[in-house]
A and B are shown apart, each in its own frame.
Chain A
């Protein structure tokens, strides 16, 4: 089975400051990794995904994440945040190899609040 731990439930930050949202995972098999964002009263939107290849993944809205296999981490970063980045962010994994069929295992979420 897979599990995902998001190390911070809430992260407050000032506008234009950098931010890092931390994610660690546990799995006995190879996984794919994802970050999703959820704005209030909306569904989830994919920010970025890691399937294979380069460990630095760039996503939408200026976000990037780095896959670290030895530390089983997939931390999300943005060099300069905006008020509009205020939302809840979810790290997720799926089993690699094509048998997950829609099943993602999510972390508990990190609420990012950007203050002016």
Chain B
């Protein structure tokens, strides 16, 4: 069974640009969560989607958005990039509930110059 796949693996952007990151969950998993990981702030929850609906959201500005498609694949978008958005963005999938294991992808390393 294939794991969680995130693309691209590395991304370099400049301030003011926007970026879209992609996540394909494990087959059969309907919940997709996104996290930002930085050396200073650690791992922070961005949002979670289930059956194309956002069920939960962290404390990030509106420049961070996401969506989920009918096949459970998810994308997150960051508009008007800032230097502080440089981070490893991790996607995790699960069958549904938080009782289940969250399976994490290897992440997308975003560098904003």
A59 to chain B, nearest CB (A): 11
Interface size class on chain B is: 20 to 34
In the complex, the number of residue pairs spanning A and B with C-beta atoms less than 8 Å apart equals: 66
Q: Which residues of B contact A90 (CB under 8 A)?
A: 43
Q: Does A70 contact B (CB under 8 A)?
A: no
Docked Cα-Cα span, A106 to B44, in Å, equals 7
Please tell me the number of chain A residues within 8 Å of chain B, measured between CB atoms.
24
Given contacts A44-B90, A101-B48, A105-B45, 13 further A-B contacts (CB under 8 A): A32-B98, A43-B92, A51-B99, A98-B97, A101-B98, A102-B32, A102-B48, A103-B33, A103-B98, A104-B45, A104-B98, A104-B102, A106-B42
Residue positions of A touching B, CB distance < 8 A: 32, 36, 41-46, 49, 51, 90, 92, 94, 98, 100-109
